Chains A and B, each alone.
Chain A
Amino acid sequence: MSSTFIFLIVLVLAVLGFFGTKQRALASGGGDRRTLHSLPNYYGINAALAAAVPALVVLAAWLVVQPIVVDRVIGAELPAATAEDRGARSLVLADVRRVADGLDLAVSQGVMSDGEASNLSADSNDIRERLGAVGVALGSDVDARTLRLAQDYRDYARLGAILKTIVVIAVAVIGLSIAYRMTDKDFRARNYVERAVMLLLIASASVAVLTTVGIILSLIFNTLAFFDSFPTADFFFGTRWEPSFSGRGGASDLGFLPLIWGTLFISFIALTVAVPIGLFAAIYLSEYASNTVRSIAKPMLEVLAGIPTIVYGLFALLTVGPLLLDVFGNDGILGVNWMSGGTAAMTAGLVMGIMLIPFVSSLSDDIINAVPQTMRDGSLGLGATHSETVKQVILPAALPGIVGAILLAASRAIGETMIVVLGAGAAASLSLNPFEAMTTVTAKIVAQLTGDGEFNSPETLVAFALGITLFVITLGLNVAALYIVRKYREQYE
């Protein structure tokens, strides 16, 4: 039976349980709901939860565990040589699954009878051709062993499905009958439901936390795998980034320094643009602008924050790059020839700066608005002008918060990818010239993983090392920023 169908059965049981139990509770109170401990609905909900939750948990666990178990069992039937080698083993198992799925498909389309699929032999039939006919393309001919394993695989999967149906429905029925039995007028159903609500909330919170932990662990393990095959010092202190993919042969230089240099350089340009403009815009909006101006300008700035970064990337590639080239390039207006192509650190930095303006300005605006009005009154009351008040009282009071906002903007800049991929070029270089093409950590992660390299060479695993280094940097910035912002909030509360 399919999992969807089992799921529906469990739901039906839960609904039936809800009404049945509610009825039973009312009956136990002699039809008078005032004699019950809880409202009748609570008894129903309790029973419905008892029927559905454990059963669905078992179902979910089964869906995760069954493929692992079947793989194990099939893997045990492989010859020792194949089973030892992780790569070969996973290739064979993938083939097996593909053939098994193909057979399933063939049976469900009626091209093959079920018995025929189980008894096919590799010599007598051209399996590749027959499966091709139902739309399953195989890379090579199916040998006898693969076919036999695929048939075993189908048997195990079918057995698993039957067991799954029995177990899940049994769990649902048992849960339901326990809840039904416990229901009488003194049963504290309301408290059980309360507990269930809390568990639901805890489960949701855990999903977020566990996912984060999972991501970090996967980063760490893959990074360790990378450092198994590549010297740590060469990664952190290497000054050349020249990966060679297996096709071209030769060893790769995977030096981190040119990438982090590009990241920091471009982020620096971006912040140089975004911080003054964003901050001044925030000061204007929060201190000088009339309500009408503010109610128009603020949403417009926030629209800027909603533009997808790929659009900024296009803008960098197609507008800003050529424009800069016209000014600083070979035949440019200035005739300086600093720039040889449209993609450069400056192009990406400028556009990224524009992207960050609303980020800086809306955070700073909130922070400036949080400075108490009495502070302004105090300064104005002493005969200070508006701009003196801003410069000498409001900005110093808001400074920690503004620094926090800038750090958050910096961590956005460091993690930004699309603008860099399109605007900055692809050459990793340790140059001081902002008009030269540069690349960043994020852009290189993209470059290393797009294309179809094997996923176990240093050239691809390096992406994890890059990722975790970036993660540590931005995490540090975020923590520092949040700490500062929180510190600042306390000051006025």
Chain B
Amino acid sequence: MEDMYHMDRAMNGLQDIKIKATDVNVYYGDMHAIKDVSVEIEDKTVTAFIGPSGCGKSTFLRCINRMNDTIDICRVIGDIRIDGEDIYDPKVDPVQLRAKVGMVFQKPNPFPKSIYDNVAYGPKIHGLARNKAELDEIVESSLRKAALWNEAKDRLDSPGTGLSGGQQQRLCIARAIATAPEILLMDEPCSALDPIATAQVEELIDELRQSYSVVIVTHSMQQAARVSQKTAFFHLGNLVEFDDTDKIFTNPQDPRTESYISGRIG
């Protein structure tokens, strides 16, 4: 156990910086939702965002795939780079960006289509498959990576909305994986799931770390401790503390972090 932990640490030490945010401010109209946040998120790592409700975790997460562009009143100021490229540069097409930065939402939201079509949706839109055989392959490998293949392979034509909650969330993860993203953003992906489904999704997140940089917003500190290597603590729009997960939970530097993890702010 100790050894694995040290290996993890060692590996993390070698990771490249995938996302680099500098002095990011977000406003909803006059409301200042994110204040001067700078953070460096590593590749092939699970990074957890924790903090009390309304502190801006989702808002910051949505900056990374420019989903905030779809909200009229939202303004994002600052610099966010993925692999050194400024994603708010006018040359960048947010639609293309979102294929590269997949997102999984709080409530499972499969489209009212078949399981197959749900997964094939992204690849079809982006023309990732040259023929049906390739598309089948993408669908199968995405479902396998999302640990849903065994349950779904015999019912690919039945509607995605007919799956159980946990299966639906894994379908949404498969759907996001299918566009071959480099980063996966997850906004409280387990908050609508029961404990068993949660455990399955958490296990899946741990596996996804092999191939993707994963950023997960969570309400549950246990979950952050279980799945993440890095943890960022947000409070009232500020990034209070960002460090290795075990350090945040065992030896927080900031008194606000301490109060939060010991349950005094919440």
Contact between A383 and B96 (Cβ–Cβ < 8 Å)?
A: yes
Report B162-204 CB contacts with A as 1/0, cut-off 8 Å.
Answer: 0000000000100110010000000000000000000000000
Contact between B67 and A381 (Cβ–Cβ < 8 Å)?
A: yes
Question: How many Å lie between the Cα of A392 and that of B111 in the bound state?
Answer: 9
Q: Identify the 3 closest CB pairs spanning chains A and B, nearest first.
A: A383-B99, A381-B103, A374-B109
Question: How many Å lie between the Cα of A377 and that of B99 in the bound state?
Answer: 13
Known contacts A383-B96, A383-B99, A385-B95: A378-B112 contact under CB 8 Å: no
Contact between A383 and B179 (Cβ–Cβ < 8 Å)?
A: yes
Question: How many Å lie between the Cα of A290 and that of B72 in the bound state?
Answer: 9
Residue of B nearest to A377 (CB): B105
A383 — which chain B residues lie within 8 A by C-beta? 95-100, 122, 125-126, 179
Residue of B nearest to A491 (CB): B112
Question: Within the complex, what minimum Cβ distance (angstroms) separates A242 from chain B?
Answer: 52
Contact between A382 and B175 (Cβ–Cβ < 8 Å)?
A: yes
Question: How many Å lie between the Cα of A290 and that of B96 in the bound state?
Answer: 24
Main secondary structure of the interface of A (DSSP, over half): helix
Residue of A nearest to B113 (CB): A396
Main secondary structure of the interface of B (DSSP, over half): helix
A372 sits at the interface (CB 8 A): yes
A376 — which chain B residues lie within 8 A by C-beta? 70
Report A374-398 CB contacts with B as 1/0, cut-off 8 Å.
Answer: 1111111111110010001100110
Question: Within the complex, what minimum Cβ distance (angstroms) separates B158 from chain A?
Answer: 15
Question: How many Å lie between the Cα of A299 and that of B97 in the bound state?
Answer: 38
Size class of the contact patch on chain A: 20 to 34
Within 8 A of B (CB), among A28-67: none
Contact between B126 and A375 (Cβ–Cβ < 8 Å)?
A: no
B51 sits at the interface (CB 8 A): no
Given contacts A381-B105, A383-B99, 16 further A-B contacts (CB under 8 A): A375-B109, A376-B70, A377-B70, A380-B70, A380-B98, A381-B98, A381-B176, A382-B99, A382-B125, A382-B175, A383-B100, A383-B179, A384-B121, A392-B111, A392-B121, A396-B112
Contact of A382 among B107, B121, B161 (CB under 8 A): B121
Question: How many Å lie between the Cα of A491 and that of B67 in the bound state?
Answer: 26
Question: Within the complex, what minimum Cβ distance (angstroms) separates B105 from chain A?
Answer: 6
User: How many cross-chain pairs have Cβ atoms below 8 Å apart between A and B?
Assistant: 69
Contact between B65 and A381 (Cβ–Cβ < 8 Å)?
A: yes
Size class of the contact patch on chain B: 20 to 34
A388 — which chain B residues lie within 8 A by C-beta? 125
A291 — which chain B residues lie within 8 A by C-beta? 72
Question: Within the complex, what minimum Cβ distance (angstroms) separates A332 from chain B?
Answer: 47
Report A357-383 CB contacts with B as 1/0, cut-off 8 Å.
Answer: 000000000000000101111111111
Question: Within the complex, what minimum Cβ distance (angstroms) separates B168 from chain A?
Answer: 11
Contact of A380 among B67, B100, B126, B172 (CB under 8 A): B67
Most chain A CB within 10 A, of B100, B109, B110, is at B109
B102 sits at the interface (CB 8 A): yes
Known contacts A290-B72, A396-B112, A491-B112: A379-B107 contact under CB 8 Å: no
Question: How many Å lie between the Cα of A381 and that of B62 in the bound state?
Answer: 10
Contact between B111 and A393 (Cβ–Cβ < 8 Å)?
A: yes
Report A127-150 CB contacts with B as 1/0, cut-off 8 Å.
Answer: 000000000000000000000000
Contact between A382 and B113 (Cβ–Cβ < 8 Å)?
A: no
Question: Within the complex, what minimum Cβ distance (angstroms) separates A279 from chain B?
Answer: 18
Contact between B109 and A372 (Cβ–Cβ < 8 Å)?
A: yes
Question: How many Å lie between the Cα of A378 and that of B125 in the bound state?
Answer: 13
B110 — which chain A residues lie within 8 A by C-beta? 378
Question: How many Å lie between the Cα of A418 and that of B244 in the bound state?
Answer: 76
A381 — which chain B residues lie within 8 A by C-beta? 65, 67, 98, 102-103, 105, 176
Contact between A378 and B109 (Cβ–Cβ < 8 Å)?
A: yes
Question: How many Å lie between the Cα of A381 and that of B99 in the bound state?
Answer: 7
Contact of B111 among A290, A380, A397 (CB under 8 A): A397
